[in-house]
Amino acid sequence: MNGDYAPVDFWTALIRGWHGRCPRCNSGRLFSSYLKMKSRCDCCDLALEPFRADDAPAYFTIFIVGHIVVPLVLLVERWGTEPPLWVHALLWLPLSVVLALFLLPKIKGAVIALLWAQKIAAPKAATGSFDPSA
């Protein structure tokens, strides 16, 4: 657990995150399961918990899947002989689900790496009780 790591540029960190690897050392894994982020890198002990992706990966995934599937739907509708709705459901629902499930962890890893590369950590939670009237 040596503290001497070469500086990592933005694109390298992004690619490492896309592959689900630690953005600093490229040896540790970002996730302990499908989308469950580890709190620390096993190899370099980088604290990953402050870099929270929140809802950004879901938004980016929806954006990308929509920009892939919608043009394909329009092409089939235009150049096909206006197929019935069940054909569209049979084609596009499985494609959308598979694309979303494939892209979501990759995009989440890239967002975490982006946050790390730009040093954008979530603010520490204030200690004490929460007062909604304040």
Domain locations in the chain?
A: 10-117
For range 28-49, the mean pLDDT:
92
Placement of tokens 């954008």 in the chain: 120
Q: Is the pTM of this model over 0.85?
A: no
What is the structure's pLDDT at 131?
47
- Which residues, listed in sequence order, are joined to residue 37 by a DSSP beta bridge? 31
* pLDDT exceeds cutoff 90 at 6: no
For range 14-40, the mean pLDDT:
93
Placement of tokens 């540790």 in the chain: 28
**Residue 86: partners with Cβ closer than 8 Å, 6 or more residues away:** none
SS3 helix, strand, coil % of the chain, rounded to 5? 50, 5, 45
What's the whole-number average pLDDT of the chain? 88
**Termini Cα distance of the chain:** 44
Which band of pLDDT confidence, cut at 50, 70 and 90, is reported for residue 125?
low
